[in-house]
Structure 1
Amino acid sequence: MTPTPAPDDTLAQLKAGKLQGAKQLKLSAQLTQFPAEIFDVADSLEILDLSGNALTDLPSDLSSLKKLRILFCSNNQFTHLPEVLGQCENLSMIGFKANQIKHIPEAAIPTHTLRWFIVTDNALSRVPHALGECSKLQKLMLAGNQLISLPASLANCHALELLRISANQFEALPEFLFDLPKLTWLAYAGNPFCNAIEQALISQHHIQHIDWQTLTLQQVLGEGASGVTYQAVMQNKNVQESVAVKLFKSGLTSDGLPRCEMHANMLAGEHPNLVGVKGVIHNHPQGIDGLVMPLLDAHLKVLAKPPSYESCTRDVYADDLTLTPQQAEFILKGITQAAEHLHAHGLMHGDLYAHNILWGPEKVVLSDLGGASFLPVDNPALTQKILQLEARALAVFAEELAAVVSNSGGGVI
C-alpha cells in the first residue's frame, strides 16, 4: 500500500505537476496564500480541504474550479466568508469551522447547490437571508456563534433535516422551525433561554466527581469531533474497575458545549439501553473536561457509519449487514425505550442515528449525548413540538432498519 503523503509532500507534488487528474486534495502546511497550482487540476478537482492553515481569503477566480463540490477551510483565519463561493456552480458542501468569521455576505451563498453548510465556532451575530433560498439545504451547523435569531427566510428551507444552533445567544427557539416539514435532528443547548432549564434540572441531581489521580488511561476506544474515549482503570480504595473515559478536545464541540453533554449524561442516569455515567473528572492537570462511564462489552458493534458527503443526512450501512426481523425489532424497541427514558428525564437526544447505536445479540445501546438538548418542562406545548422531531428521527431509523431487513431477504419489520 502506498503511504499517504505528508502535507508538505502533497504541496511539493502539486507544484511539481505530479497530481494531474486529482479529484481530491488536502493541503495543511501553514499556508497564508491560496496555492495557484491548485488551478492546474481544475479539470478534475471535486474535493478541496484547506483546513489547518492561516488563510484569510480565497482567490476571486475560485469559481473556475468548475467541478468543485466540497470545500473545507476550517481552522484558518477568515473573518468573512468569501463572496466568490456564491459563484461556484457545483459547490454543495462548505465547511468554515473554527475561524473568526463575523460576516457572511449574501452573495457568498451558492443558493442553487448548497446542501451542507458548516460555520460552527465563529463570531457570527447573524446569518444571511440568502440561506432561505437554498432549496437543497439539508444540514446547517451554526453552533458556537453569537446568534440571537435566524432569518425568517429559513422557513422556506423545506429540505432542512439537521440544525445545530447550540451555544449561541437565543432567548427563544424560532417558532418557524416546527413548521419545517423535514426537520428531524435539532440541538439547541447552551443558549440563554435554556440555561436556566438546564440548571434547574441538574440542581436536583448529585454530580459524582472522580479525581483524575484515580484513573489510569489505556488504549483509545474511539475518537469523534468532540473528544477521545479511552479504556481506563479506576482505583477506588482497594478495588480496581475497568471504565471508559471521554476527554473533551476543547471548550466547544460540533454539537455544543462539553458542559451540556456532561449534564445531559448526569440527567439521563441509568437505563439498560443507555451507556450510563459514573461521574465527571475532577482535578485534571490541564483543566480538561471529561466523563467516566461504564466500559461496554467489547463485542458490541456500531450499527452504521456516519453520513457520507453524498448521503449528507443519512447513515451509511455496510453492504453486507443482514438483520433478521427479530433483530431489527429488538434494536428498534431498545432505542425507543432509551429515547423515552431521556424524554422522561427532561432531555431530547437530538442525534438519534444508527452511528450512535451499539448492538449485540443480547444488548442494544444508544450512545453520545453531545447533541442532547434540555426540554422546557415548564412549557408542555413547546416540549411536545420538540419531541415530535425526535419521533421523526425514530421513524427514519425504523425505515432504515426495514430496508436492511428487506435487503437481507427476511421481510420487513
Structure 2
Amino acid sequence: MGNSALKAHLETAQKTGVFQLTGKGLTEFPEELQKLTSNLRTIDLSNNKIELLPPLIGKFSFLKSLVLNNNKLTVLPEELCRLKKLETLHLNGNHLRQLPAAFGQLSALKTLNLSGNQLRTVPTQLCGLRHLDVVDLSKNQIQNVPDSVGELQAIELNLNQNQISQISVQISHCPRLKVLRLEENCLELSMLPQSILSDSQISLLAVEGNLFEIKKLRELEGYDKYMERFTATKKKFA
C-alpha cells in the first residue's frame, strides 16, 4: 500500500476520528497514526498480519474502540492499559495467551472479544472492570473457571468451544451475569454447580454439546427456579 493511500486515510481519520485499514497485509501498526493521538476515537486494523502493538498505543487517550481481529498478536503491551476511555476491544483470532497485568485499569471497558486465541484460563484481571457488559472467551483453551469469576461484573459471558471440565461454584455469585454460554466443552453434569440454577441471576444457560444429555439438566434441583427466570426474561423481550 502506497504512502499516498495512507495519507488519504490519515486525512479522513483526522476529520472523522475513525481510522480503518483492514485486510491490507500490514505487518506493523502504522506509526504515522502518532500524529492523531488526540483525534482518534476508533482504530480498526482487522485482517492484517500485525505481530506487535507498539507502546505508543497508550497515547491515544480518547480512543473508544480498538479492533484488531485476525492479526498475529501474541502479547499486548502494558501501555494499552492506559486507555481510560476505551469501551470496546476486539481481539478475535490472534495468538494471545494472557492479558497484561494492568488490564483491570481499562475502567471504561464494556465489550471485550477474545474469541479464537490461546487463553488457558479466565483472566482474573477482568474482575476489576466495573462496566463490563459482554465478554467473549469462546474458542480458546480454557480448562477451568476459577473462584475469582465470582467478582466478574459482566452481563454475558461466552465460554463456548473451550475444554472446560470444572467451574467454580462462585460463578453463581456474579452480580450482573444473565447469560452464560458453555456450549461444546467437556463438562460432566456433576461438575455444573447446581447453584447456577437455584441461586444465581443467570436467565440463559447454554450448555449443549457437553458430556451429558440436556434432558438430564431438567432433573436437577433448582431447574424450576432457573426456568422461572428464563421465562420472565423471555416475556420482557417478547
Q: How many angstroms does 1:192 deviate by?
A: 1.1
CA–CA separation in structure 1 for the residues paired with 2:186 and 2:21:
38
Give secondary structure in 1 for the equivalent of 2:16: coil
CA–CA separation in structure 1 for the residues paired with 2:13 and 2:186:
49
Per-residue Cα deviation, 1:109-163 (whole angstroms, up to 9, x for no partner)? 4342221111101111124321111111111101111111234222122x32111
Task: Please tell me whether the aligned partners of residues 111 and 130 of structure 1 are also in contact (alpha carbons under 8 angstroms).
Answer: no
CA–CA separation in structure 2 for the residues paired with 1:382 and 1:31:
54
Q: 1:40 to 1:394 in 2, by over 3 A?
A: farther
Letter in 2 for 1:27: L
CA RMSD of superposed structures (Å): 3.1
- 1:258-297 matches, within 5 Å, as none
Letter in 1 for 2:41: E
Q: 1:376 to 1:145 in 2, by over 3 A?
A: farther
Per-residue Cα deviation, 1:170-204 (whole angstroms, up to 9, x for no partner)? 11333222222322222111111159xxxxxxxxx
1:373 matched to 2:208? The reply is yes
CA–CA separation in structure 1 for the residues paired with 2:20 and 2:222:
43
Task: Please tell me whether the aligned partners of residues 185 and 350 of structure 1 are also in contact (alpha carbons under 8 angstroms).
Answer: yes
1:24 matched to 2:30? The reply is no
Aligned residue pairs total: 220
Q: How many angstroms does 1:97 deviate by?
A: 0.4
Q: How many angstroms does 1:400 deviate by?
A: 4.6
CA–CA separation in structure 1 for the residues paired with 2:48 and 2:122:
24
Match in the other structure for 1:64: 59
Letter in 2 for 1:22: T
Q: Identify unmatched segments of 5+ residues in structure 1.
A: 1-5, 196-348, 352-370, 402-413
Task: Please tell me whether the aligned partners of residues 13 and 40 of structure 2 are also in contact (alpha carbons under 8 angstroms).
Answer: no
Q: Compute the TM-score of the two structures, normalised by the length of structure 1.
A: 0.48
1:172 matched to 2:166? The reply is yes
Q: 1:400 to 1:57 in 2, by over 3 A?
A: same
Match in the other structure for 2:195: none
- For residue 55 of structure 1, the aligned residue among 44, 50, 54 is 50
CA–CA separation in structure 1 for the residues paired with 2:50 and 2:104:
19
CA–CA separation in structure 2 for the residues paired with 1:391 and 1:74:
38
Task: Please tell me whether the aligned partners of residues 104 and 127 of structure 1 are also in contact (alpha carbons under 8 angstroms).
Answer: no
Q: 1:380 to 1:91 in 2, by over 3 A?
A: same
Q: 1:128 to 1:172 in 2, by over 3 A?
A: closer
Letter in 2 for 1:140: V
Q: How many angstroms does 1:395 deviate by?
A: 3.3
Letter in 1 for 2:216: V
Q: 1:10 to 1:394 in 2, by over 3 A?
A: farther
Q: How many angstroms does 1:394 deviate by?
A: 4.5
CA–CA separation in structure 2 for the residues paired with 1:23 and 1:47:
6
Per-residue Cα deviation, 1:322-370 (whole angstroms, up to 9, x for no partner)? xxxxxxxxxxxxxxxxxxxxxxxxxxx959xxxxxxxxxxxxxxxxxxx
The structure with the larger Rg is 1
- For residue 132 of structure 1, the aligned residue among 127, 130, 138 is 127
Q: How many angstroms does 1:57 deviate by?
A: 1.4
Task: Please tell me whether the aligned partners of residues 45 and 68 of structure 1 are also in contact (alpha carbons under 8 angstroms).
Answer: yes
Q: How many angstroms does 1:13 deviate by?
A: 0.8
CA–CA separation in structure 1 for the residues paired with 2:92 and 2:12:
30
Q: How many angstroms does 1:91 deviate by?
A: 1.0
Q: Compute the TM-score of the two structures, normalised by the length of structure 2.
A: 0.79
Q: Identify unmatched segments of 5+ residues in structure 2.
A: 190-202
- 1:1-400 matches, within 5 Å, as 11-15=6-10, 17-28=11-22, 29-157=24-152, 159-193=153-187, 350=204, 373=208, 375=214, 377=216, 380-381=219-220, 384=223, 388=226, 391-392=228-229, 394-400=231-237
Give secondary structure in 1 for the equivalent of 2:19: strand
Give secondary structure in 1 for the equivalent of 2:43: strand
Task: Please tell me whether the aligned partners of residues 62 and 84 of structure 1 are also in contact (alpha carbons under 8 angstroms).
Answer: yes
Task: Please tell me whether the aligned partners of residues 147 and 171 of structure 2 are also in contact (alpha carbons under 8 angstroms).
Answer: no
Task: Please tell me whether the aligned partners of residues 168 and 191 of structure 1 are also in contact (alpha carbons under 8 angstroms).
Answer: yes
Task: Please tell me whether the aligned partners of residues 10 and 27 of structure 1 are also in contact (alpha carbons under 8 angstroms).
Answer: no
Match in the other structure for 1:251: none
More strand by share: 1
